[in-house]
Chains A and B, each alone.
Chain A
Amino acid sequence: MKRYLLHRLLLFFPSLLGVLTLVFFFIHFVPGDPVEVMLGETASASDKEALRRQLGLNEPVWTQYLGFLKGLAVGDLGRSLYHQEKVMDLVLARFPATLELTLAAMAVATLCALPLGVLAAWKRRTWVDRCALLLSLFGLAMPNFWLGPLLIIAFSIQLGLLPVSGRGGLSHLILPSLTLGTAMAALLTRMIRSSLLEVIHEDYIQSARAKGLSEITVWLKHALRNSLLPVTTILGLQFGSLLAGSVITETIFTWPGIGRLTIQAIQTRDYPLVQGCVLVIAVCYLVVNLFTDILYRVIDPRISYGK
């Protein structure tokens, strides 16, 4: 296990560097000029050139890349070209909002999917199963940009129970997390159901039944735990997707998170800020994946990570 963890940690940094390198070159090769954004249309050509020199944007991309790596090595991501604030400050100011939304969406998805998936498997081929599958189909088919406004109209405008948008207390978190978590809940429901149906015919389940254990104990203690392995993989991967893909939900609900910041940074060709946002998202993604691998072992102690 220790060797495996060490191996994964050693892979962590090259993976991160790979992501940052790709994004660095992509964003630099996309047409667009941050100096134009900073100085506006009326600035003289000489002023634009002077600023370009000052920011090092006139240097070859490779030189800029090396400069970026040097900064990265000492934890300096530079200043945002657009906001003129430290990139790290901007990213860290927005990151908690995205993390809060992602975790809430994960919680919503898990809390909905677990009972629904178990119920669907337990009552296989009954109306309960069909309802659960239909619900999950709707969940997967509904895009966030449609579901979000629909939930706002229902719960904020018609019933007046919840705020329309913005970040505040728990009441502000409910609709965005429902919107973001619905598709994931649908996916998990189907995963849990099919995974449970696979393990329920295994020999050890028959043994448990033969020992006279109640059907609930068999399902929840023996079958569910063993069916969670593929579900954990999906959870880990989905966490990263939710984190990086929350931009639509953040836009609908005016959620001041990192998704909106990234889009704005790309639109203004704010190279350092794009890198900062990608760095945080990539680190989270890699950490969660690592954590998922460790969790495998906790869920199924039979799993071995090499010699």
Chain B
Amino acid sequence: MIGLESSPSRLDPRYATDANSVRVGALVFNSLMRADENSQFRPELAERWEASDDRTYLFHLRKGVTFHNGKPLTATDIKYTYDSVLDPASRSPKRGPLQVIEAVEALGTHLVRFRLAAPHAPFLENATLGIVPAGSAPGPGVERNLVGSGPFTLVEHAPGDKVILKANPAYWEGPPSIPGIVFRIVPDAIVRVLEFKKGTVDFVQNDIEPDMLPWLERHTDAAFKIHQGTTFQYIGMKVDHPILRIREVRQAIAHAVDREAVIRHLLKGLGTPATGLLSPAHWAYEPHVPQYRFDPEQAKRLLDKAGFPDPDGDGPLPRFKLSYKTTTLDLRRRIAEAFKEHLSRVGIELEIRTYEWGTFYEDIKNGNFHLYSLAWVGVTDPDIYYNLFHSVSVPPNGDNRGRYNNPAIDALLEKGRTSLVLAERKRLYSQVQQTLARDLPYIPLWWAKNVVVMNPRIRGFIPYPDGELISLKRVSFSAAKPLA
């Protein structure tokens, strides 16, 4: 029994975009490739793959794989799944990233060829799409009859209530050790903890407030697994704003924010100060970038230099005012209050504006903000920088919400997208990280730690940095409670 805060929206892998849909779906559907616990792509349905040139990829499929309905999985199913996403009528949210694919061809029962419109280094990320049997019409009503080839079969999906999975006895890697999984949607944070205490929930990942962990430690025999995740929290800034366009101002804000205090007191240590979007576990991570330690005096000097002297020294008048947008979630509001206090010490008055998610997100997308804070979850390929900082990626064409524009970064990101040599890409993205750390369109805050609270009898769970639950296919329950 697993407790989730929110309901998976759609489990069909062609439509699943929210984290819970992706995580639950990965237990029902296999894909050609899958990221392992070190975020490296490994073949799953593919036995092996090769690139015959920079635009052509061949996948040799594993033999003997069957769908839950007993039908063998073949190249036709792969072609069908990708074609059905690429069909504009599908309205699939996955269509955008896959549009680089020109054609998918079934060359035999167990051989598939992907032809790309242009060289595209992050292509393997596109090979993680869950595969459905040929003929599985997308659309309403099919959610109940979804069939995959994964370790669990879907028994029931009651949106807002629960998802029931049953072990697939014919799974090609061998059947799972547990008979099934029930994902229960428990939206209230306190009730999730109480369900765990009562023993009606065995496993919760990240959906427990930091404040409640000490209580769980004292009052239950829960096993805790705390490990570094890749979720990146940042402060985004509108870099074409008359004040924020000055780099020294952005750097001053970075120096003024006491991230470590926020991590220690509000996150209860469940975060690591971040230097940038990519975490140290990532192959392209560049550690040698400018960093901004908590230093209010340096922040004041930078603001003076930028032409914003404090009008009355330690008096009440600020150097300037900015707004900070965030959601109505309690923790987010408390973090905002801490930032307000930190910035007031260097003479910046921060006005906090909280909104429910829909309004907040619309404002951010439309560039209607000065400062805001959000997180990026599940970062795999560094090509994400293109979406975040290339000048063509200003919404609605991408997520460059702060309107950052740097031709040097644009050129690096274009090269990084098409270069297929890993060492070359590493060099390019190293330069990207150094430039961004200097220009600061984002102020890096922290990489969140993943927290798993589980029944101490559960054995074999391997945490993934992006919070994937795929290792549940190998977990078992020990017969007795372990000795303390």
Contact = CB atoms under 8 A, between A and B. Distances in A.
B357 A267 contact: yes
A40 B93 contact: yes
Chain B residues touching A, range: 35 or more
A149 B191 contact: yes
Nearest to A32: B358
Given A32-B361, A45-B396, A149 B93 contact: no
Contacts of A31: 358-359, 362-363
Contacts of B397: 44-45
A176 B139 CA distance: 35
A197 B11 CA distance: 60
B96 A40 contact: yes
Contact of B187 (A149, A164, A254): A254
A261 interface: yes
B186 interface: yes
Contacts of B363: 31
Contacts of B351: none
Contacts of A76: none
Interface stretch (B158-166, B277-285, B303-311): B158-166
A164 B198 contact: yes
Interface string A77-110: 0010011111000000010000000000000000
B178 interface: no
Contacts of B91: 38-39, 51, 54
Nearest to A165: B191
B185 interface: yes
Chain A residues touching B, range: 35 or more
A252 B191 contact: yes
B419 interface: no
A180 to B, nearest CB: 15
B190 interface: yes
A251 B198 contact: no
A156 B188 CA distance: 16
Would you list the 10 A-B pairs with minimal beta carbon distance, nearest first?
A32-B358, A40-B93, A31-B362, A42-B96, A45-B396, A256-B161, A43-B96, A84-B140, A39-B93, A40-B17
Interface of A: 30-33, 36, 38-45, 47-48, 50-51, 54, 79, 82-86, 94, 148-149, 152-153, 156-157, 160, 163-167, 251-254, 256, 260-261, 264, 266-269
Interface of B: 9-10, 17, 88, 91, 93-97, 99, 139-141, 158-161, 184-188, 190-191, 194-195, 197-198, 200, 356-359, 361-363, 365, 387, 396-397, 399
